[in-house]
Amino acid sequence: MNSKIAITSFASVSPLGNDSVAVWEAYQSEQSLIKPHQIGTSTVFSSSISEENKQKVTALRLSESKYKFLDDSVLFAILASRQAFSLSGWDADSVFGINIGSSRGATQLFEKHHAEFLSTGKAQTLASPTTTLGNISSWVAQDLQNNGPEISHSITCSTALHALLNGIAWLRSGMADKFLVGGSEAPLTPFTIAQMQALKIYSSAESADPYPSKTFDFTKTKNTMVLGEAAAVICLESGENEKALAYVDGFGYATENLKHSISISAEATCFQKSMKMALGTIDREEIDVIITHSPGTIQGDLSEMKAIEIVFGNNLPLLTNNKWKIGHTFGASGMLSVEMALLMLQHNQFIQVPFLKLQPQTRPLKKIMVNAVGFGGNAVSIVLCKNV
């Protein structure tokens, strides 16, 4: 059995734009897309999907009655999946699996229905089917009229990369030869923001600060995590493929031995293990870039850096991330990092963190590692290689 896993298309609904050209152009700008927004009774920093994508979401919601009562996280996933499906070349007869996860699921609808229950003592008829965790993948399957397996899950902020792991497992087992995988998140809600503020990890930067989320900046003296909303998916196929944009060259996973529910060790043992597993027999010097998880918290950023230094020693790859630009999109974040990696490989151009600019690109980009970890210490590392 051919163990190669090809990525044949990708798509997202995010603050960056509504197609790969717009997303790449957004990455050329050093401007952050994080801005103050009114969420509930508070004004906080966040990053919402682009205006073009907002229009698409509204149009989808109004297109048929069955979409009217769905959560934004589901609508984001449907739009991204439609685009990736179209770009992949799959047709109506294609049988493929779907695994799209979410850290929090139908957050907006759940909070809405719960508030109504507290007020009236009654739940609406559609409260249950529209807030279940399986809501995302099953609606994408309905929309694409797919007959393959459909899976939803939540593994906090590494959810999308765990979906990728699941897709790889299905393809390598021979139980499927095509899989659509990703993550979707719409967390810009009062209760979700309040939870992050209660953990004292949310950014309280001044409104004039051009970079409210200082990801991977080790000079910061306070946590600067900011939330964003998005969905991102990729299409996977087993074996060599003439349409391949890149191949999965390695993957790794590990779980931290927690001391409390949101802890991570000083040297991120889970990342050390996941990166080493993903590297396998790959020479460390072959990794050109690492797209870090780096949520913008002091401890999270620093522990990941220490793990990278332990694994790679003095020959560090180029380091970057995108949360300074679009915030932390929880369950979708890992796949947005994969999208960033695919675009850098496609254009052979390294995207810097503008307020760091630590390293220049000195060679062609051929292999990029993507990291993700979430509450629970569930780390995943993926190595993507250019299709040459």
283 bridge partner residues: none
Burial of 313 (0-12, 13-18, 19+ CB in 10 A): exposed
Q: Could you give the C-alpha distances from 349 to 24, 343, 346, 352, in angstroms and in order?
A: 10, 8, 8, 10
pLDDT per residue as tens digits for the range 333-375:
999 999 999 999 999 999 999 998 778 899 999 999 999 998 7
Q: 321, 104, 367, 345: which is closest to 214 by C-alpha?
A: 321
Residue 206 lies in a domain: yes
Judgement on whether residues 201 and 96 belong to the same structural domain of the protein: yes
Residues 6+ apart with CB under 8 A from 110: 71, 131
Q: Nearest 5°: phi and psi at 181?
A: -130, 150
CATH number of the domain encompassing residue 313: 3.40.47.10
**Tokens of residue 152, six digits:** 């939803």
Q: Which of 238, 257, 291 finishes a domain?
A: 238
Q: 334, 317, 328: which is closest to 368 by C-alpha?
A: 317
**Tokens of residue 290, six digits:** 């690492």
Q: Where is 337: in which H helix or E strand? A: helix 333-347
Q: 49, 303, 330, 45: which is closest to 162 by C-alpha?
A: 330
Residues 6+ apart with CB under 8 A from 28: none
Residue 370 lies in a domain: yes
Judgement on whether residues 36 and 93 belong to the same structural domain of the protein: yes
Judgement on whether residues 166 and 265 belong to the same structural domain of the protein: no
Judgement on whether residues 302 and 210 belong to the same structural domain of the protein: no
Residue 25 lies in a domain: yes
Judgement on whether residues 169 and 280 belong to the same structural domain of the protein: no
Per-residue pLDDT of the chain (388 residues; tens, 9 = 90+): 458 999 999 999 999 999 999 999 999 999 999 999 999 888 999 999 999 999 999 999 999 999 999 999 999 999 999 999 999 999 878 899 999 999 999 999 999 999 999 999 999 998 988 998 889 999 999 999 998 999 999 999 999 999 999 999 999 999 999 999 999 999 999 999 999 999 999 999 887 899 999 999 999 999 999 999 999 999 999 999 999 999 999 999 999 876 644 456 778 899 999 999 999 999 999 999 999 999 999 999 999 999 999 999 999 999 999 999 999 999 999 999 999 999 999 999 999 999 987 788 999 999 999 999 987 789 999 999 987 6
Q: Nearest 5°: phi and psi at 92?
A: -65, -20
Residue 243 lies in a domain: no
| 12, 339 Cβ separation under 8 angstroms | yes
Local structure of 9: helix, strand or coil:
strand
Residue 164 lies in a domain: yes
| 213, 203 Cβ separation under 8 angstroms | yes
Judgement on whether residues 186 and 37 belong to the same structural domain of the protein: yes
Residue 174 lies in a domain: yes
Cα(151)–Cα(167) distance, integer angstroms: 10
Cα(257)–Cα(378) distance, integer angstroms: 10
- What's residue 261's pLDDT? 47
Q: Which residues constitute the domain of residue 282? A: 248-386
Residue 71 lies in a domain: yes
Cα(380)–Cα(68) distance, integer angstroms: 35
Other C-beta atoms closer than 10 Å to the C-beta of 200 total 11
Q: Which of 238, 256, 277 finishes a domain?
A: 238
Q: Nearest 5°: phi and psi at 313?
A: 65, -140
Cα(81)–Cα(337) distance, integer angstroms: 17
Judgement on whether residues 34 and 52 belong to the same structural domain of the protein: yes
Q: Which of 212, 238, 264 finishes a domain?
A: 238
**Tokens of residue 39, six digits:** 């969420």
Cα(275)–Cα(308) distance, integer angstroms: 8
Number of structural domains found in the chain: 2
Judgement on whether residues 123 and 70 belong to the same structural domain of the protein: yes
Judgement on whether residues 199 and 271 belong to the same structural domain of the protein: no
Q: Which amino acid belongs to residue 78?
A: I
13 bridge partner residues: 231
Judgement on whether residues 273 and 376 belong to the same structural domain of the protein: yes
Judgement on whether residues 154 and 285 belong to the same structural domain of the protein: no
Helix, strand, coil percentages, rounded to 5, for the chain: 35, 20, 40
Q: Which amino acid belongs to residue 135?
A: N
- What's residue 70's pLDDT? 96
Residue 45 lies in a domain: yes
Judgement on whether residues 22 and 148 belong to the same structural domain of the protein: yes
